[in-house]
Structure formats: structure tokens, C-alpha cells
Structure 1
Amino acid sequence: MKFRLTATVAASALLLGLAPAAFADNAPAPAAAIQAQQGVVVPPLGFTRRVLPNGLEVYSARDTNTSNVTVQVWYKVGSKDDPAGRSGFAHLFEHLMFKATKNLPSESFDRLTEDVGGGNNAFTADDVTAYHETIPANHLQRLLFAEADRMGSLVVDEPTFISERDVVKEEYRQRILASPYGRLFGLFLPETIYKDSPYRRPGIGSIEELEASSLDDVRRFHATYYRPDNAYLIVAGNFDQAQLDRWVDQYFTPLKNPTTPIPANNVVEPEPTGPKTVTYYAPNVPLPTAVIAWPAVKYADADRPALEVLDGILSTGESSRLYRSLVYDKQIATSIGSNPDFAQQAGNLAAYSIMADGHTAEEGVAALNEEIAKLRDQPVTAAELSEAQNELVADALRSRETVEGRAQTLGFSLINTGGAAAADQEVARIQAVTIADVQRVARKYLTPQRQSTILYLASDAANPPSVARTNVDAPVKVADLAPAGAPVTLLPEGQRAALPQPGAEVAPATPAVSEFRLANGLRVLVAPTNGLPLISARLNINAGTATDPSDKAGVATLTSALLTQGTKTKSAPEIATQIEQLGAVIGASAGSDFSSVYANAPANAFGQTVALMADLVKNPAFDGEELERQQAQTLDGLRVSLSQPGPVARLAAARVIYGAAPYGAPGSGTVESVPTITTADVAAFHAARYRPANATLVFSGDITPAAARELAQQAFGDWTAPGAAPAAVANPAGAALPPRVVVINQPGAGQAAVFAAIRGVSRTDADYFPLTVGNTLLGGGFSSRLNQEIRIKRGLSYGAGSSLGVRADSGLFTAGTQTKNETASEVADLILEEVGKLGATRATEADLAPRRATLIGGFGDSLETVDGLGSLVAGLAQYDLPMTELAAYAGRVRAVTPEQVQAAFANHLPINRASLVIVGDGSLFLDALRAKHPNVEVINIDDLNLNSATLK
């Protein structure tokens, strides 16, 4: 995990996804738990291994502390194995694996997981395609049956193939074309770093090569790679080991391997022959970006741990070298990062800087090179080494909180090293890294001669958009794939193997929540657990963005952001350093009704963490220079957000529903309001709203009520606030407004965002649970009605969903998706139709039963992590709901009837109150939209005014 300090306002708009960690060699696993540097015990994964006669390796670990079980199948095939001319093929095939088998109709995996309270997903990386499900433990046998069936008898027909290929195209448009930095990190970076390795091709492929694929290619790909001797089966959770072994033997042992070999694919990436510099141009790039990158090592290399530590020193958190230099001191960048990508055959390290407004990519390159040179020329300090090591150890602990996380940790180790031991050795190897090791690997790998430099700029008339390389050769050819064999078809219902019945339910256990108050009025709640040595704290203040002054949107958000940027005794860099030395996470944020300060730390560092958290809350400095930094970062974050159709649609929808009322204003502020906010504004907000009698402190995790009381008293017992608290904002949702149809025209947008929005209900409304169950049926999960209609049946989107959006006053219900511009009007009709059905027709009991299970299963998942449990408790406290609601949740969900759902949607969310907000290239859909909505309002993106209730 990167960016431990999460208070920066612009972070959510700017931070980019990072590659997951992998693992090292195949030495024997240690028998004892690993002792971390701070004294925190990181227990070994504890999996047992068996190998079936067909070569399938099975790993299992029993854990009776959970009511869940995870089933994961990791296939040793990834995007590096895409045949020449078929980039994106492994990823396309990942989608197809969720369709029919000879015994299971299409979409059965959603029925077997989401519909019983679990979840399923998959991912494709360079070296692996992994499928993972987490379900209530009594459904284990059914998932083993299903995984074996799709390994041995996948059904792929022409309509399914074409539909899923269209879905992947929409994913490409959303991730690559509609994102301002999608082309840079998804296409241009890998093709620049690598010369011969198949890692140079994008995992998502290209629309042209997706179009070139055929149904026969798909069947041959499955026959080649989806076989027992090319997979790992991982099971973790609450099960009986002997019974698991019998089920695995029953379902997986009969599977046969094909006689054809797996194509060889082990390209050795050559050493760079010299430096290279390239400039790429793309549309919709709001801020220029600089990247410098080097080929590095594969994961199993002995130098990899030192490079991981180096990366932590370079860019992890606000005490990192890149943040301190480029963002904090020089203020030339709004976001920095580095990406250590160490895979099975090769690796790379890339550092990037998204520049602040008014600064150039060339400045970014110079500043990045300056910091890299320091790593080569001078030893890092002992404090920097310790910080990076502590952060990596704490991350290892957090990654093992859930059975799913532990199984994934094992899976990455198996894929990257061929063995399980590397995961358990990871902490010791990180701790063994020395100052000399960090300088040595910097000098060996991060040299100017090995460096690629990328400047990423906005295209214009003189510099048209750069085109990614296609038709890149690859080691595997289509001709190398195994014969497809006879097509598999879904058997008639009477001939299918019977799906096993679920076993006895294992109910999730909710902890007893203790409660007390300090003398100053602070309410304290304690939810203890018996798990890993991790503790979470969450302080919720009853004041959010709805309490911003009417002409200064963003005050609450900037106030929360500035808490971590200096106290009366500590500077912002000192705070960041202390957080990272503790291996902790501390951050703050502001929602519509509440502000929150949160912390998570290993148990032995938690006392110091809470003391620091309290200092941030009680003694913020609100320094003028820090405010200016946060304002600049916020404005840059807004520039990035406003370049993307999805964020623009969400901001506009709030104005359309709430108008000039407090809920209508953007919580992050606007480009006009943010610069007007002063230190006096944030200090006044803090003095008036941040007070103990107006707050609730929640502890969850490895802590007793007695220890929590002592900690709370030590940290917050002296917290006082002068004067009387201001009155709460009355009616922040304002009066109900007539519906509107608004198009925000963004010429050249890679996709259109389509949202239907309706004024909703408060969290305490009597119909909250019927609406929650109905919303889950409508847009909660892959098998929801919206996703079925828009993605699965028509291939018009990568995913569609809805949100009830409850607040203290009337909430903001939204249903939406992103689609290609040409189908925006069609998708708008589909969304409105599905929302309307819930109030017009009665859902069946068969419709609602799986939706209830989905909600209860998600509730159980939240209980597995200390942060998830703390959020549940804090959520009840925010709305003055009794703590008994924690244990009552499942019963309240089960009690919802079809009649209640229909009545609640008809009463609160009728379609005649719905507004439409569409953001995209209007030239491609406005005519079709006007034919159905002649009252459409069109606002050009350059004329959009989020300060105005009319958006103009």
C-alpha cells in the first residue's frame, strides 16, 4: 500500500492504482511466527499442501474465527501469454469464464456467490489469471463443484463471446480513453520500458486486436491453459479439513490434462543499450506528467527486497523524499508516486510526477532525477530505513486480516516463485535490508544509462494524440494453441449433474459494544475482536460539508485536510514522519453531515498513534502556508476530476437535486470558492464544530474496554471547546425541486456518464431497510437488474449500479453507468425503465431472497476487519441509532417483504421525480436524447458553474 497519510484533499482524484505485491523463493516455510521490528507478530499463513494425480496443487488453511470461506483458482496464464495479434486475450477470457458450463447456466457464479451473501471476482495480470469467491462457509461444496466444472467444461457460444467482447471494449474506453492518465499508465509506460518482453503489451489489449479474435481462438485458449496441472486451488476459512479433501477429490481428480504441451514463454529482457526519452500526447490531459523508469528485477531476485525498501523511502507517504521535495517544498507537483512492479520474468520501477498547474513536465523530470541521484550518491538515513521497513511490516499484517487476503497473499507467492514460502519470509527479508543495500541497488539499477524518460502532455492541433503500438510480436502464436476439440454445450436440465445443497449456516458473530462517556461529554464506543494485533480508532464529529458557509464550499474538507498538516508543536513533515515510523495510518475527511478522523495501527504502536491523533484534533496550527498548499492541491484535484465524465456527472447531479441548498454544493469546493477560504475560516469552523460533546470515538480490534477507557482518557480527557456549539443546519436538503434533463457537453470525451437522480430519504426513515433491499436488487452487484440489462444482456457498459445515498436529511439516490457516447440515450432509457419497475411492479420472493443474502453477506465481510467493524459502529452512532442494531441487522434485512419494497419505491423514488444528467460528447447522442426529452438543457463543459443551482 502506498500513501499512508490520506488527508490530502486531492488524493482521491489523482492517485493511480499500483501493482499488487508478489513473493520470493520456494524455501521451506518457517515453523514459528515472524517477529516484526516493532514487536508485532505477523503469523505464518499456515496453509497445507497436497497434489492431486492430475497435477493440481491444493492449498488449504482452516480458520474458525470467521463464518466465511474463500475459494480461489490461480491459473498460470496471464497477458504475457496473449498470442501475437491477440493482445488482451487473457483478460477477455477472464470475462468468459463467468458464463456457462456443461452443468451450470450462464451467470451461475453470481447465483452461487452474490445471491447467497458472498462475492466473486477475477483479475488478469502479466503472469496469472485468478478467480476468487468468498462465501458463507456452508456453500463451500457448491463452489468447489462450480470451479471444477468451469475448469473442465466451459461453454462459450458466439452470442456470449460477442457480448463479452463488447463489455471489454467498454472497459477499455472507461479505463484507458475516459481517464486522463489511462493511456499513459495503461499503454505508453509498458511499451516504453520493455523492449522484447511480452510485458510491453497492455493487459487490456486494444479494440483492434479484440475485434480480430474469434470464437475458435477462445476455445483453443481454454484448451491450452485451463488445465489442472497449470493451476493452484486455494481454500481458506471455516471448514472441516477431511471433508474438504473428499470434496476436492470428488470434483477435481477426474479432470484430465490435454496431451499438448503449454507453449514456451520465457523471454529474457535485454539490458538497455542507452537512455531513451519520449513524449506522448493525449486528449483530455489536465496536468502534464513526468515519468522516469528503469527495468529492474523479477520478484524472486535477491535484490528485490532492497528495491521495495528503496521505493518506500522514495514515495510512500508524506514523509517520503518525492513528496517532501516536489509536492511540499518546491510545490511543483500535485501528486507523486513510484510503482515497483516485480513480476515472474522481469520487473521495473517507475517514478512519476503529475505536475501542479503552471509547471512543466520538464521541471518534473529534473526534480525526479535530482532525487534519484541522491539515492545513488548518498546513503539513506537510519530513520528512513526504519520507516520504510515498519510500513511494509504493517502492510503485511493488514493484508492478512481476512481469509481472502491471506489466500491472495499465498497465490501471488505461488505464481511468482512457484512456492508458498516466500510470503512467510517476506517480513524477515525486508527487515534484513541495510542502508548499504539501498544505495547498492540504486547504483546498480537506477542509472541514467538504463533510464526511460516520458513526458505526457495534452494534444493539440500541432501535436495530435499519440497512438499506442499494436501488432506487436509475441512469443506465443495462435498456431501454438491446442486444438479446440468438440464444443461444449449446456446439458439439458434433466441431464446436468446435481448442484450440491448448502450445509448448515454459520452465522456471523457481532461483538458486544461497550459504551461510556468522558467527563467532557465525549461518547466512546468499544468493539473488541479476537484476531490479528491491529486496532482502529474513528472519531466522528457532527459537522460536515453541509455546514460550510454558503459562499465558501470546501471549508469543512479543508479543515479536515489541515489537521494532519501541523499542530502547535509539530510541523507537517514531523507528523508524517511519526505516522510512518509507527507503521500507522492516520487521516481525516469530511462528508455531507459528519467529519471523521481515523487511525489504524499495530497493537503495540496504537497508544502512540491515538496520542498523535488526539494532538491533531485538539491542537491544529492552521498555518497559512499549509493552507495555500492544500488549496493548490485541491484546485489541481478539481482540474483532474472535471476532466472526467463520471465525477462531473456526480457533482452536477447534486446541484440538480438540491439546487442552492447546502447538500447541493460540492463538498470539495469549487475552483472559485477554494481560493477564497482563509485560515480564519477553517479556524472558526474547527473552534465551533470540533468539540467533545459533538463527537463520538469508536475503538475496534485487539483492545479491551478497560484499555480503551484508559487510552481515551489519556488522549482526549483534556479536550475542551469554549462557548456554546452552533445550532445544526436546518433542512440541509432544502425544498424538493422539479426534475431536469441536463447534458454537459464534453467534446472528445472517451465515454459518456449517464446518471438518473432522485431526492431520496434519510438514514432514519422507516423505509430505510425496504429501500436498501430494493436498491440492492436494482443496482447492488453484478447480478443486479441494472447490470443485467446494460452490461450482461447488451454489452453497453463495463458495469452499472445504483446508490441509495442516505444522509441525515433527504439523501441523493442515483443510478448510473458509463457507456460509449453513441449509446448514451439508449442507456438512459434503460436506467429509467429499471428504476420505475420497482415502484410499479411487485418483486417476487425469489427476486428478494438473494438480495437479502447479499446484504447480510456484505455485513459479515465488514466484521472481518477492524476498520470495517469500526465503520459499522460509527455509522450507527452518527445517526443516534442504538448499538443493538448491530446484532439486529440481519433480522431487519430478512424481514423486508416484496410489498414493502414496492411501496417504498413508489412513495419515495417514483420515476416521475427523476432527473437525468449525462456528461459526454453531445454531438454523438443529443439528437436521440432530444427526441425523447425535448426539454433537455445543454451546458458546455467550459461554461459549467458548480457554484450555481442552475449549473450555469
Structure 2
Amino acid sequence: MQFLLLVLLFAVLPSAASAQPTDAVHRSVLANGLTLIVAENHSTPRVAVHLWYRVGSNNDPKDRSGFAHLFEHLMYRGSENAAGDYWNDMRRIGATGTNAGTAPDRTTYFQTVPSGALEYALWREADRMAALAPSLSQETLNSERAVVQNELRQNRAGPAGSVWTRVAAATYPGHPYARDTLGEIADLNAATVDELRAFHRRYYVPANAILVLAGDVDPTRATELVNRHFGSIPAGERISGPVAWAAPLPSPRRDVVADAVSVPRIFRIWNIPGYGTPAAIDLGLFADALQQRLEAEAGTSVAPVAAGSAYIVEQALGSQFIVDVTLTKDADLGGAEAWLTEQMETLARGALDEQIEGVAAKRRAALLARMERIGGFGGRADTLASSEGFLGDPMAWQRRLTRYASPESGAVTAAAKRWLDANHYTLAFVPASQPSNTAGQRPLVPPPITATAPFKAPDAVESRSVSGRRLAMISRPGQLAHLALILPGAERGDDRAGARSVALTALLEQPVSEGTVRQSLDRLGATVTVEEHPQAALILLRVPVDTFQRAGSILIKALRPGSLKDAVVVTAKSKIGERVFASRRNVLTLPQILLPTLYGRRAPDSETLNRVQLSDIEAMRACWRGGDLHAIYVGPDPHQSLPSLASALDALPQSNGATCAPNGTEIVRPGTVSTPMSGDQAMVLAALPLPPADTPEAAGLETALAILGANTTGRLDRILRVERGWTYGIAMTVSQNQGSRLLTLEVPVSATNVRETQAIVERELRRLGEESVTDEELRTATASIAAEKAARWETGSGAAVAIAHQTIGGTRSSDAPPTVDEVRASARQFLSREPSWILAGGN
């Protein structure tokens, strides 16, 4: 087969600290117009398969809003030569990150597979490109339409849930982006099978597609496989490329909507140039600088806002600059809007000069971190596909790195004055009592799945500092370094519930020599994320290698006693209070807030947070400095970083952690906690206690849970989503804990289906231990679990978190796959019991 070939290089900004091999990127075009991009990297035996179609909600037929998104769902229900469910098939072969996304300009499908299963994944993708239409039926349409309608309802539930539908209509009158990607229920109900088949024949063709393979793949072999499976599919017609249409508003517009918000919330939106343009890149930096100002000011006595964010959404025809602020309880709309305008003008008048290098460094680090991850939304394959699809060059993403490496404050300010002085849309939500064709030569028989080299995670090098603090280190080449700190100590469950969350926020908001801890880390290009677990918190620092020692020192020094003041605690309490208040008003998030009540403990609310004092925070920080403080480093040259890390840890005074244990770890309140809420959306949460991970009798428990509750492929998902169309997806989590753990199953459903959903969940929990598990279920779950564990090590952040979770939650006594009998025995002992329930929504 004839094809064009370009070989490009990941010329990521050179760094003496980087020992990572340069990734070769090969671009070719098949005779039928399919664009193939291969990014070769052999660090793990996995390959991201990413198919990018030039079709989105812009292409929805008249009076068929949501059509492209509905079709995305139908692509997972089997094709002519592969009738099985796509989700389950990918999980069976060890795929991770299987997903899809629809936007106005494109629809993407992706998964990351073991390298031995690459050809099989390509065969399945080719079959649903070439032969999906004949397999579409009224039954599958009805089922997926119900799922999409549940997704639509779930996305629009809760306070300010209508924001993006309103924004699209108001900011893009007469523009393709005026359509809501999710669509409207009436239009979805009118869709027919024949219309969907015609849609597939028109848009799902080689000439309209970009295929990216990233990871453990040889370009020559990849080209051979892609030609074999895609080369004989008729080319079809490529959709014309996007024509820039930023569409500045002809006049300012302001809408005020009464909704179920607790305090007013303001969105301010500007239309700006499209994806990857210099203006969009520069305005992204301006948004980050504004975000930092909003975070620094929010919750202080002089600011009328309790929380705020600023960001841009880049799309092909045009992008949007968005500011979102939540007001304090006593603030008025006019005053808050004037204050917001003043913040933006101050930034544009010169304050940006002080922030530009920090926000650019952070953007650079974030982009490098995304390119570390081969698959998923925003990963390497997605970035290469978007660069090719929107800009005609898979390496166009490097223009961002160049701009971030040498940011120009003047250019950023000029872009802000050019585009943000223009007309904009203001949308304010205020409180109200009620919320408002088959290829001839293509192989039709699935290829065999060949063996993939087993992946073994590298062993961490364990050591202790002079003071006895534990250190774990793993060498990983690259331009990023990662530090995970495990801070021992449970959240309080008394009249000061929420104290740990306040302490974690205060840790980053406390003053240092140059602003706050968070601001100082931002200037170094660092990103900090926080996880809270029953008996410990986890802080993860990701930073460019050349600034790691300074960033790590700042973070560890912040743990020293006596550095906090009352004003910092007040600010932190305000931030956590707003988050808790918003979660309690949202039907989808309320159950998680109420989980402590199952242990007979108090859940955080405004009263408990108001009682938190500086002394409570210092007590929590003393827990963190106890003997169980654990540091994990993942990055280049760990032995070079060891002395500075150990020195910083040794400088922390030891403290007694005896009072840091939780009040109780066993569920003491079985039964149902029910909170009625207005609207037609509900959330059902089932909870069961589980034994420690290393319990011998629980050898089959992880596999049993995968069979039961895996999203898109588990038994519950098949019954509630595929067969009944009641839910968009199920979330299953097991708490990270050395002792007794907690299983939670969260099912968002219509308020009319709550009781029946409870009955199905309880029945399936029992049935797993009482009835047989099939060999196919066992193989699929085993392959999926192994693949997910390997996938965590694709990035440095993932590796650091994986080690931290093993430390916090323990590990199984054996890595050997369980037998069917072990799975049933574990399910019978630990799952065949009545769960506790938290219900939100409905009556």
C-alpha cells in the first residue's frame, strides 16, 4: 500500500537532567486517506490506540441535537464481525483507560492495550469503522438513548446545572457552537436507526480519521498492521477543515437566573481565537495568573468571593475565556462584578510581570506530565491527534513548550487587552427556593492475541533519615520529579469534624518569604494534589527536575510547628466550608459527605468547621510529624536528591502521634440514611465493611469486586446501564486503609428508580457468592486488574501514588490470580450481607 512518511522527533526542551530517550514520531497517510501517527516509546509493554474522527456536535443533523454524542455510545455495542460488547472485550484483553469523548469538532475513541494485543485492538477498531452500520438495531438504540438521557440529566442536576447550555446559546448566536453537545431529550427521542446508519457512513471513514499509536510499538510493524486492517476500507470523504470563527459578541449580555445555589455564583465568558493560536496560548497564561489572584484573595475579609477560577476552553473554530466565582454570603452581585473587573485590570496593568514566569513554568510542567502518559484524555496520543487534526502537524504542541519556556509578559498583556476588553457574557445564578459498509480485503476474523512481556514494577529503595523518617526512592528518567508525603492522622469525627481538611488547606495557604506556600510552589512550576484517606493524607508534588530541591524544601518546611496564624486558619475554614456547603446541596456529592455517619461519627458541616481552632490544626500537624511520616521520591538521580530530602525531614521536630487514630473504624450504623432533595436525579450509595487487604480469606475479593462493580463491564453495569438504561455509570471504591476498609458503590439514577436499584444491588451482592462465576468473567477480571496495576506506572506521578497506596492500604498476601472457588468464597464471606445505604434525592 502506498503511503507518505514523515519522521519527527520529540525535541522536548533539552535538559541536562533528562536521561529519557527521545521519542520518534512517524506520520504516514494511507492510500485511502487515513492518517497514521506512531510515537515509539518502550518504557512499558503497552500501546495507546487513539482514533480521532473529524465529526462532532457541529455535524448534528437539523433537529437532532446530541446526535454525534449518542452515536459515540452506540460504537460500544458491537459491530458486524465482533458482536460482543466492546467495553468487556477490551477489559478481557487487558486494556485500560477505554473511553471516548465527543466535542463540537471531533469525536475520539481510545484505550491502552498490552503490546501483544495491539493487532486485536486494531481489528476491533477497523470493524466498527467499516461494519458498524449493519449491526445497529432498534434495541441497542433504545438502550443507549436511555443511558445518554441519564447522562444528560446527571450533568444538568444540581445547582447551576444549566450553565453550559445557557452559555453556548448566549455566546454563540448563529454559530455551530450554539448547539449543546449532549443535546435535548426530544431530539434524542426522534432519532431513528436509519439516520444513525447514514451518519456512520458519512463520517466514520478513513479519510476523516486520524489513528495514533503511542508506546511499545515499532513503526514498521504498526504500518503493516494498520494497512492490513484499515487499508481496504473505502476512503469516503474528508470533512473540510475548520475555518477560524472566534465570533466576538456584538454587544455585552447579562442574564440573572434563580437556581438552587446557596450563594450567588457568577460566570463571565469571552470568545477568543481557536485551538493552538498564539493568542489562545497567551490567554491561557493570563487565565492562570488570574486564577492565582482569585485563589489568594478568595475568603479574605476584603474579597467578596469565597472561591474563584479562571481558565480557557480551546476548540477549533474559537475558544472561550471563562471566569467562575462564588460569592460570600453577604456580597452583592454588582460589587462582586466590579471587584472582578478590578482584579483583571490590575493584572493587565503590570501585576502580571511578577507572575508570568511562575505560571508559564507550571504550564510547561503540566504539558510534560501529560506527554508522559501515553493514553487517555490529554495524554500523548490525544495531544498528537489534536495537533494533527486542528493544526495539521502532530508536533505543533511543541509551540506551546517554546512559548512557556520564554514567556513574554507584554504579548500576554496585549492579548488580554485585545480580547478581554471586548464584549462579554455574564451569567449570574442567585438563590431560589426551587431549582430551576464492509471492506472486501480486510480480515473479518479476529487476530490472535500474542504474549506481552510481563511488567514488573521496580522495587523502591527504602531507607531512613537520621530521625527515623521513612524514605522510598525509585529512579525514573525524564524532566519531572515527584514527591509524595504520607501524613499520618485521621479526620476528626466529633464537633470539630473537617479539621484535617482545614489543616491541609492551611498548609498550602500559610505565608512564607514570598507569598504563600502554594504561590511559591506555583512560581517553580510545581503542582500539588491532595488525597484524604481514613487514617492518613497524601500530598503529591510534581515539579520540573531543575526546581525540585527548592520545591521539596518549601513543602517539607511548611510542616514545622509555629508557622501558622489564626488568619490562615480562617481563610482555610472559609474555603473548606464553601466546598462542604456546595457538596451538601448537590444530589451527586452529598452521599460521600455523609459517609462518616456510618461509623457513628459526625460529618463536617458549617457548625463543626466554625468550631475548628488554631490549636486543633496544630494538633493535626503534630500527627503529621510523627514517626509514620513517609516520603516517596520518583524521578531522575534519586541518590542525588536523597541528602537534601533527608536533611529537610530531619529538621522537623518529632511529635507523639498517639492521639491521631480515628475514633472508630467499624460501621456502627447499618440501615439507611436518606436525604430527600428536589429534582428528578438521585444518588444511591451502598456501603459494606471489608477486611484488611492482606487477609488470607480475602484472596479472591479484589477479583469478585471487579466482576461485580467494574464500570462499563461489571454485572451491575450490565443490568442497570445496558439492560435497563437507568444509569450513566457506576463508581466503585475501596478505601485505602491498613485495617478494616470500606466498599462503596455509587449509582446515579432517576429518583423513580431508587428502590428498585437498591434491590438489584443487594441481590447481586448475594448472588456473587451463591452462584457460579464463569471462566470468562474470571479471565476478564484478572486481565483487567493486572493491566490497571501496570498502567499506574506509565507516569512518575502514577508510580509515586501506587507506592503510597501500598503503604497506606497494604497489599494482598499473594499476587497469584485467584481461582473461581476463592472468588466465590471471598464474595460469600464478605459481600453476602445487607449493605448500609445513603440515599440522596427523590422522596
Same fold (TM over 0.5): yes
Do the aligned partners of 1:779 and 1:803 also contact (CA within 8 Å) in 2? Answer: no
2:567 maps to 1:646: no
2:457 maps to 1:535: no
| Correspondence for 1:457 | 430
Change (3 A) 1:57 1:627: same
2-structure distance, mates of 1:717, 1:878 = 22
2:587 maps to 1:615: no
2:160 maps to 1:181: yes
2-structure distance, mates of 1:340, 1:403 = 24
Q: Of the candidates 252, 260, 270, which is equivalent to residue 275 of structure 1?
A: 252
Deviation at 1:300, TM superposition (A): 4.7
Residue 396 of structure 2 aligns to a residue whose secondary structure is: helix
1-structure distance, mates of 2:590, 2:612 = 22
Do the aligned partners of 2:489 and 2:661 also contact (CA within 8 Å) in 1? Answer: no
Deviations 1:192-217 (A, max 9, x none): 21122111221111112212222222
With 84-93 and 505-514 compared, the bigger mean Cα shift is at 505-514
With 595-604 and 585-594 compared, the bigger mean Cα shift is at 585-594
Residue 693 of structure 1 aligns to a residue whose secondary structure is: coil
2:473 maps to 1:526: yes
5 Å matches for 1:83-122? 83-113=61-91, 115-122=93-100
2:613 maps to 1:686: no
1-structure distance, mates of 2:17, 2:286 = 23
5 Å matches for 1:226-625? 226-258=204-236, 262=239, 268=245, 270-282=247-259, 284-315=260-291, 320-328=292-300, 330-376=302-348, 378-404=349-375, 405-447=379-421, 449-460=422-433, 465=436, 497-530=444-477, 532-545=478-491, 548=492, 550-566=494-510, 569-570=512-513, 573-619=515-561, 621-625=563-567
| Correspondence for 1:895 | 817
2:105 maps to 1:161: no
2-structure distance, mates of 1:66, 1:115 = 16
Deviation at 1:400, TM superposition (A): 1.0
Change (3 A) 1:549 1:443: closer
1-structure distance, mates of 2:46, 2:773 = 29
Change (3 A) 1:671 1:577: closer
| Correspondence for 2:151 | 171
Amino acid at match of 1:733: T
Q: Of the candidates 695, 718, 722, which is equivalent to residue 651 of structure 2?
A: 718
2-structure distance, mates of 1:122, 1:32 = 26
Change (3 A) 1:265 1:616: closer
Change (3 A) 1:371 1:293: same
1-structure distance, mates of 2:591, 2:285 = 40
Do the aligned partners of 2:244 and 2:316 also contact (CA within 8 Å) in 1? Answer: no
Deviations 1:206-239 (A, max 9, x none): 1122122222221111111111100001111112
Change (3 A) 1:635 1:574: closer
Gap runs ≥5 in structure 2: 1-5
2-structure distance, mates of 1:113, 1:763 = 23
Change (3 A) 1:416 1:673: same
2-structure distance, mates of 1:371, 1:35 = 33
5 Å matches for 1:127-142? 127-142=105-120
Deviation at 1:424, TM superposition (A): 2.0
Q: Of the candidates 744, 753, 759, which is equivalent to residue 823 of structure 1?
A: 753
Number of aligned residues: 832
Q: Of the candidates 794, 798, 802, which is equivalent to residue 724 of structure 2?
A: 794
| Correspondence for 2:836 | 915
Q: Of the candidates 192, 195, 200, which is equivalent to residue 214 of structure 1?
A: 192
Deviations 1:374-406 (A, max 9, x none): 344x13443311112111111111111122221
Deviation at 1:305, TM superposition (A): 2.4
Change (3 A) 1:157 1:324: same
| Correspondence for 1:670 | 605
Residue 336 of structure 1 aligns to a residue whose secondary structure is: strand
Deviation at 1:703, TM superposition (A): 3.1
2:622 maps to 1:696: no
Residue 70 of structure 1 aligns to a residue whose secondary structure is: strand
Change (3 A) 1:373 1:55: same
Do the aligned partners of 1:235 and 1:407 also contact (CA within 8 Å) in 2? Answer: yes
Deviation at 1:713, TM superposition (A): 2.3
Do the aligned partners of 2:626 and 2:654 also contact (CA within 8 Å) in 1? Answer: yes
Residue 143 of structure 2 aligns to a residue whose secondary structure is: helix
Amino acid at match of 2:488: N
Do the aligned partners of 2:688 and 2:836 also contact (CA within 8 Å) in 1? Answer: yes
Deviation at 1:39, TM superposition (A): 8.5
Amino acid at match of 1:366: A
TM-score (norm 1): 0.83
Change (3 A) 1:342 1:555: closer
Deviations 1:743-778 (A, max 9, x none): 3211x2341111222222223423444111111111
Q: Of the candidates 620, 626, 632, which is equivalent to residue 574 of structure 2?
A: 632
Change (3 A) 1:516 1:397: same
Deviation at 1:422, TM superposition (A): 1.2
Deviations 1:793-816 (A, max 9, x none): 111100124333353332222223
Residue 354 of structure 1 aligns to a residue whose secondary structure is: strand
Do the aligned partners of 2:528 and 2:540 also contact (CA within 8 Å) in 1? Answer: yes
Do the aligned partners of 1:555 and 1:682 also contact (CA within 8 Å) in 2? Answer: yes
Deviation at 1:717, TM superposition (A): 2.0
Deviations 1:923-948 (A, max 9, x none): xxxxxxxxxxxxxxxxxxxxxxxxxx
Gap runs ≥5 in structure 1: 1-27, 466-484, 923-952
Deviation at 1:646, TM superposition (A): 2.8
Q: Of the candidates 663, 667, 674, which is equivalent to residue 743 of structure 1?
A: 674
Amino acid at match of 1:278: D
2:685 maps to 1:755: yes
Change (3 A) 1:58 1:673: same
Change (3 A) 1:272 1:695: closer
Amino acid at match of 2:705: N
Deviation at 1:416, TM superposition (A): 1.7
Q: Of the candidates 177, 180, 187, which is equivalent to residue 199 of structure 1?
A: 177
2-structure distance, mates of 1:265, 1:400 = 25
Amino acid at match of 1:515: E
Deviation at 1:325, TM superposition (A): 3.6
1-structure distance, mates of 2:276, 2:635 = 34
Amino acid at match of 1:690: W
Deviations 1:892-936 (A, max 9, x none): 45431121122222222223x3223321121xxxxxxxxxxxxxx
Residue 645 of structure 1 aligns to a residue whose secondary structure is: coil
Deviations 1:819-849 (A, max 9, x none): 1111112222211111111121231332111
Change (3 A) 1:114 1:78: farther
1-structure distance, mates of 2:544, 2:238 = 47
Deviation at 1:174, TM superposition (A): 0.8
Alignment RMSD (CA, Å): 2.7
2-structure distance, mates of 1:298, 1:105 = 40
